Structure 1
Amino acid sequence: MKKLILGMAIVASAFVFGQKGDVNAKLQEANKAAMDAYNAKNYAAAAPKFVEVYDLLKANGQDNKIYMYYAGLSQALANNADAAIKIYTDLINSGFTGVETTYTAKEKKTGQVVNLDKTTWELMKKNSDYSDFKTEQSKSIEPDLYETLASLLLNQKKGTEALAIIEKGLAKFPNNAKLKEAQTTAYLQSGNTDKFVAGLREQLAKNPNDATNWYNLGVMQSKNPATTNDAIESFKKAIELKPGFADAYQNLVYTTIGDDAKTVSDINALRKDKPDEASKLIDARRERFAKALPFAEAWYKSAPENLDAVTTLKEIYVVTKNMDKVKEMKAKEAELSAKAK
């Protein structure tokens, strides 16, 4: 989200409302209040003042939506998501780009460069007291509108709405990296898991050093028994890129162990009538726990105050028959449980 740059005065209004002192005074007062509130980081107070500036200008013939953009950004910074979403949506639907033309001229006597509205600038060309008449066009902020609105919608878990905005934005700005990244998240929120995975792979092809995307890919792969090994490799890659990545270690442990509740149920069902088959399952279970042990120890090392990490490590020590460590983890488990009360 771009930071507001509030160095501008309402130059054009000073000429348009030159004969309307009350209106112009209200306009300047509202503008000052908006900028003062923003600079003081009182964004909730700044937003309605920017709307007031916009309304005053519009009532007098100037539909300058840059002030609605300022209002929307202030609402976003104030965490008033619904209000910000409405303003940004209206701005996008109106075709607003933020492109503005600045008109300047130089006073020959003082050498001072002054800002003028277009009409006055044209008239001043006939005035011999001014020279160096120039125009400058500002950069479009339209990509920012799409990026910010997408982010606001995703933060509100409105994945389907976000996806529609993102696709609309990408139609205009197909190479926008932020929108492409947001699109991947929107696919997940809207339930398009296949497209989510495809998006992750696309992002990783562009940036293979993104630990979070490797982690997210591993999470999706771990949901399918056929891609369990792929998930393990993705989690390992995430950890390689981000040492101490506790969540990646956690998922690496769980993916390596598999559905242990089902395994225990199957073992219990076979113990009486098919003890040999039950023994095979027990041996395979112990082998998986042994493989998961170093990952669990690394998880605990990266998050020593995490009760789940402690409990999981304790259970792995039980299965692998390391009773001294079981005792140690039980003590740690009791300590953390006591702190949580």
Structure 2
Amino acid sequence: MKKLILGMAIVASALVFGQKEDVNAKLQVANKAAMDAYSAKNYTVAGPKFLEVYNLLKTNGQDDKTYMYYGGLSYALANNNEEAIKIYKELINSGYTGVQTTYTAKDNKTGQVNPYDKSTWELLKKSSPKEFSDFKTEQSPNVEPDLYETLSTLLLNTKKHDEAIAIIEKGLAKYPNNAKLKELQGTALYASGNTDKFMQNLKEQLAKNPNDATNWYNLGVLQSKNPATTNDAIASFQKALELGSADPKLSNNAYQNLVYTAIGDDAKAVEEINALRKTKPDDATKLIEARKERFNKALPYAEKWYQANPTSLDAVSTLKDIYNITKNPTKAAEMKAKEAELSAKAK
């Protein structure tokens, strides 16, 4: 992006050609102030200065929204989300894409390469081949996908989830293969509480890219909320670990979720057991055995969690409790000592 910004100084001189002297002077001052502020990462100053350039040009008949775009970008980088959102919305609604063609030619007398408007460039090329050479055109890239991505992110950052979903859907209608918008769509759907659509979104993304560890992890989290898809959740977490083992945070979270998914809602299970102990002891015994089975299933995940993160108090405490319930007092005592050690260090 900075490369594009620096290139704007040349374009500006071409745009102001032919304007009144006082307008030219104001434009050059505002443009330089905007460029300098952006280069110095003083985005709070750069934003309004780029808009000043845009408004000066517009007042004089040149509606070049490139400067509005850089103003919006600067506001976003300055964390002025509300101003950035307004600008990005206007740019999208106007159909701005950023695609522009720059026309340049070399003055053979001076050796300097200068920009020209299309008509002048074509005239020089046709009538002055001896005075000018190296006639070139360069097209700037399409920034419309970036507009949708940035606006969606800004809306999510300001908790405007429904607006974000609408913008993302609009963007995906134009750019259906945009991976960033697909990712943001999942985030927006989850944040808005629409978990069914979020799960569908994750599955669609995984169908296109089955090696995305984060999406496998997120799918596992959703599946773990439903007891009927516990096994699916475990498979998803295992896939996330297989693909994302190099990410310590993902590994820690995936092992932790594997343990809790395998155990299920233990508080509810204990409550049901206690309610049946006196009136239906046989049923209570069945529930106790089923609970032990779940903890035995969770044990290897808990051990791997501890191996992956031996300084995690949560991992140690959970493993201690599982050893107690699965009747392994030696290991339980070992984890109890480790728990005390980590707790003392944490104080």
| The two structures share one fold, judged by TM-score above 0.5 | yes
Question: Do the aligned partners of 1:15 and 1:117 also contact (CA within 8 Å) in 2?
Answer: no
Give the drift of 1:123. 6.1
Q: Name the Cα RMSD after superposition.
A: 2.3
Cα shift readout 1:88-134 (whole Å, capped 9, x = no counterpart): 11110111111112122221223432112346546656556334544
Measured against aligned partners, the alpha-carbon deviations of 1:285-307 in whole angstroms (never above 9, x if no partner) come to 11211111111122223233333
**Deviation of residue 4 (structure 1)?**
5.3
Name the aligned partner's letter for residue 130 of structure 1: F
State the identity %. Answer: 71
2:159 is aligned with 1:153 = no
Whether 1:169 aligns to 2:171 is yes
Normalising to structure 2: TM-score of the pair? 0.89
Task: Give, in whole Å, the separation in 1 of the partners of 2:32 and 2:307.
Answer: 54
2:117 maps to a residue whose letter is D
- Which residue number in structure 2 is paired with residue 90 of structure 1? 90
1:16 aligns with 2:15: no
| Cα deviation code 1:44-80 (max 9, x no counterpart) | 2322221222122222222111111111112222233
Cα deviation, residue 189, structure 1: 2.2
Corresponding residue number in structure 1 for 2:31? 31
Letter in 2 for 1:149: L
Equivalent residue in structure 2 for 1:327, among 329, 333, 342? 333
Distance 1:173 1:107 in 2: 41
Of 193, 210, 219 in structure 2, the residue corresponding to residue 208 of structure 1 is: 210
Q: Give the equivalent residue in structure 2 for 1:313.
A: 319
**Other-structure match for 1:247:** 253
Distance 2:298 2:173 in 1: 46
- Equivalent-residue separation in structure 2 for 1:131 and 1:3 (angstroms): 29
What is the alpha-carbon distance in structure 2 between the residues aligned to residue 277 and residue 337 of structure 1?
Answer: 39
CA displacement at 1:3 relative to structure 2: 5.1
More displaced 10-residue stretch of structure 1: 272-281 or 97-106: 272-281
Displacement of 1:180 in angstroms is 2.4
CA gap 1:299/1:79 in 2 versus in 1, 3 angstroms: farther
Whole-angstrom distance in 1 between the partners of 2:45 and 2:123: 38
**Amino acid corresponding to residue 61 of structure 1 in structure 2:** G
Selected match of 1:198 from 197, 200, 209: 200
Amino acid in the other structure paired with 1:158:
K
> Superposition pairs for residues 294-305 of structure 1, below 5 Å?
294-305=300-311
Uncovered stretches (5+) of structure 2, i.e. residues with no partner: none
**What is the CA deviation profile of residues 248-284 of structure 1, one whole-angstrom value per residue up to 9, with x for unaligned ones?**
1111101100110011111111222322322222222
**Contact (CA 8 Å) 2:16, 2:27: kept in 1 or not?**
no
Distance 1:314 1:195 in 2: 38
What CA distance in whole angstroms lies between the structure 2 residues aligned with 1:315 and 1:16?
80
Residue 106 of structure 1 corresponds to 106
Counterparts of 2:124 and 2:210 in 1: how far apart (Å)? 58
| Structure 1 length-normalised TM | 0.90
Cross-structure match for 1:278? 284
Structure 1 residues 16 and 338: CA distance shift in structure 2, 3 A? farther
Inter-partner Cα distance in structure 2 for 1:154 and 1:229: 32
Q: Distance in 2 between matches of 1:165 and 1:299?
A: 40
Larger mean CA deviation between 67-76 and 41-50 belongs to: 41-50
Q: Which amino acid aligns with 1:109?
A: K
What is the DSSP-based 3-state SS (H/G/I as helix, E as strand, rest coil) of the residue aligned with 1:104? strand
Distance 1:328 1:247, change over 3 A: same
**75-84 or 220-229: which moved more?**
75-84
Q: Mean alpha-carbon deviation: is it higher for 224-233 or for 80-89?
A: 80-89
Tell me which residue corresponds to 2:272: 266
CA contact (8 A) 1:158 1:189 kept: no
What is the identity, as a one-letter code, of the residue corresponding to 1:177? A
Aligned to 2:5: 6
The structure-2 alpha-carbon separation of the partners of 1:97 and 1:256, relative to structure 1 and needing over 3 Å to count, comes to same
Moved more, 22-31 or 243-252: 22-31
**Closer/same/farther in 2, CA of residues 332 and 78 from structure 1, 3 Å limit:** farther
C-alpha distance after superposition, 1:152-195 (max 9, x if no partner): 22333332111111111122222222222322222222332222
Q: Is the 8 A contact 1:13 1:24 kept in 2?
A: no
CA contact (8 A) 1:314 1:325 kept: yes
Q: 1:87 to 1:237 in 2, by over 3 A?
A: same
CA contact (8 A) 1:108 1:130 kept: yes
* Mapped partners of 2:273, 2:206: distance in 1: 40
Of 308-317 and 298-307, more deviation after overlay is shown by 298-307
Alignment CA distance shift 1:73-1:255 (3 Å): same
Unpaired runs of at least 5, structure 1: none
- Following superposition, the deviation at residue 208 of structure 1 comes to 1.0
**Alpha-carbon distance change, 265 to 78 in structure 1, aligned in 2, over 3 angstroms:** same
Return the alpha-carbon distance in structure 2 between the equivalents of residues 136 and 5 of structure 1. 12
SS at match of 1:115: strand
For residue 290 of structure 1, give the secondary structure of its aligned residue in structure 2. Answer: helix
Question: What count of residue pairs does the alignment treat as equivalent?
Answer: 338
**CA shift at 1:41, angstroms?**
2.3
Give the conservation status (yes or no) of the 8 Å contact 1:4–1:70: no
Cross-structure match for 1:66: 66
Higher mean C-alpha deviation, range 300-309 or range 257-266: 300-309
